[in-house]
């Protein structure tokens, strides 16, 4: 009888405190308490039910959201939304992206087919999806509502598209896809989803061709460096090689180092490889800087090795064998070769700097204090 009085008194407090806002959770707790009284459940369990009912009754009533689910702790910059409205919003954004960026995507595919330096673009999107799949256990889910902060990034993407259209900068127009997708992730899932998807979205920059001026600014120095380095390696191998501009004279043959042989494709591939390594491997800040700095000499060494191999095939086999190697096999061989150089550089960097672990002698000797 004592437990029954406590249960009823707790139920009266909950219903009197908020007579017009009794939640479903409070009603469920009171029904469970009555069933426990009838079946003779121990007093300790009844007292916990009463306390739970009183705590639930002191909570403020859930606001009406027009069919949605109210969630506590919603950011003031977000708006709760029902599942149906959320699905409509996702479909609308997907349709708007497809309709707006379809010409840009078509131009990207044409550039991947036409320009050898950007033929790797077909691999970028699958690799970015693989990054998200690897981090699937850390997926934060979608937020309780729409986060309006994502509209800032979407507005920045719109500004980039406007500039690219006005000044005929196709690369800037394509670059705007990344902030648009990042803003969409923020808008639909909040900051946690934005931070989770950001590394994979940044990787999408590698599929977009550089502007012509920037491409020339990078290709011409790489072309000259590739010519001089390859000529020096051939001379070290005992070949009568002479560099004249971007042309290598070797014996009675000439090898023209064209812009397509400047190593820009290998350079971009090496940067992508370094970026992927930094994403998955937890290293110190000095190793990260060392890895990024090593991307330039490794790309130069890989491209020089390709030119040297082509020159030797042209000299000792045939011109047809040299052309087949350059156009068919070199692109597939040099990236693994560069990855091996990366591994060698990382091993060398770790051998230069050794980490030391501090050990407390008191924990080893077992003394409270060393005199």
Blockwise average pLDDT, block size 10, the chain, 371 residues: 44 40 40 43 39 40 39 53 87 93 94 84 92 92 84 94 90 95 94 94 94 85 90 92 88 77 78 84 76 87 90 86 78 80 83 69 59 50
Domain ranges of the chain: 2-58, 78-207, 212-352
Closest CA to 291 of 303, 306, 279, 302: 279
Q: So what's the pLDDT on residue 10?
A: 44
Q: So what's the pLDDT on residue 359?
A: 65
Helix (H, G, I), strand (E, B) or coil at 239: coil
| Tokens 């000529």 belong to residue | 231
| Tokens 């950011």 belong to residue | 75
Q: So what's the pLDDT on residue 259?
A: 61
Closest CA to 275 of 350, 203, 204: 203
Q: So what's the pLDDT on residue 207?
A: 93
Closest CA to 182 of 191, 170, 169, 171: 191
Q: For residue 278, what are the contacts with CB-CB under 8 A and spacing of at least 6?
A: 288, 291, 292
Q: So what's the pLDDT on residue 86?
A: 86
Alpha helices, DSSP H, located in 59-175: 83-114, 121-134, 150-166, 170-175
Residue 27 contacts residue 70 (beta carbons within 8 Å) = no
Closest CA to 345 of 302, 308, 314, 307: 302
Closest CA to 135 of 193, 190, 70: 193
């Amino acid at each position: 009888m004592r437990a029954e009085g406590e249960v009823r008194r707790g139920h009266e407090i909950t219903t009197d405190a908020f007579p017009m806002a009794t939640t479903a959770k409070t009603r469920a707790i009171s029904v469970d308490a009555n069933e426990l009284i009838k079946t003779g459940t121990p007093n300790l369990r009844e007292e916990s039910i009463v306390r739970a009912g009183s705590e639930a009754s002191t909570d403020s009533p859930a606001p009406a959201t027009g069919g949605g689910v109210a969630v506590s702790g919603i950011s003031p910059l977000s708006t709760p939304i029902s599942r149906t409205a959320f699905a409509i919003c996702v479909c609308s954004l997907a349709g708007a992206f497809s309709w707006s960026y379809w010409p840009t995507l078509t131009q990207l595919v044409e550039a991947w087919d036409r320009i050898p330096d950007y033929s790797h673009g077909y691999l970028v999107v699958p690799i970015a999806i693989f990054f998200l799949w690897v981090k699937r256990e850390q997926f934060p889910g979608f937020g309780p509502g729409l986060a309006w902060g994502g509209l800032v990034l979407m507005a920045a993407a719109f500004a980039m598209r406007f500039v690219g259209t006005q000044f005929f900068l196709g690369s800037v127009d394509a670059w705007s896809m990344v902030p648009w997708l990042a803003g969409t992730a923020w808008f639909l899932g909040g900051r946690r989803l934005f931070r989770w998807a950001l590394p994979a979205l940044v990787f999408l920059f590698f599929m977009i061709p550089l502007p012509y001026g920037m491409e020339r600014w990078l290709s011409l120095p790489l072309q000259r460096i590739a010519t001089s380095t390859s000529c020096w390696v051939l001379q070290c191998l005992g070949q009568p090689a002479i560099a004249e501009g971007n042309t290598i004279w070797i014996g009675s043959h000439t090898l023209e180092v064209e812009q397509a042989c400047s190593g820009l494709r290998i350079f971009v591939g090496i940067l992508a490889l370094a970026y992927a390594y930094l994403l998955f491997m937890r290293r110190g800040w000095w190793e990260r800087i060392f890895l990024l700095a090593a991307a330039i000499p490794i790309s130069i060494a890989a491209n020089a090795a390709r030119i040297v191999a082509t020159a030797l095939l042209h000299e000792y086999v045939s011109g047809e064998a040299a052309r087949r190697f350059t156009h068919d096999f070199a692109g597939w061989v040099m990236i693994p070769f560069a990855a091996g150089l990366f591994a060698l550089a990382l091993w060398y960097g770790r051998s230069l700097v050794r980490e030391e672990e501090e050990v407390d002698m008191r924990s080893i000797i077992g003394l409270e204090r060393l005199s």
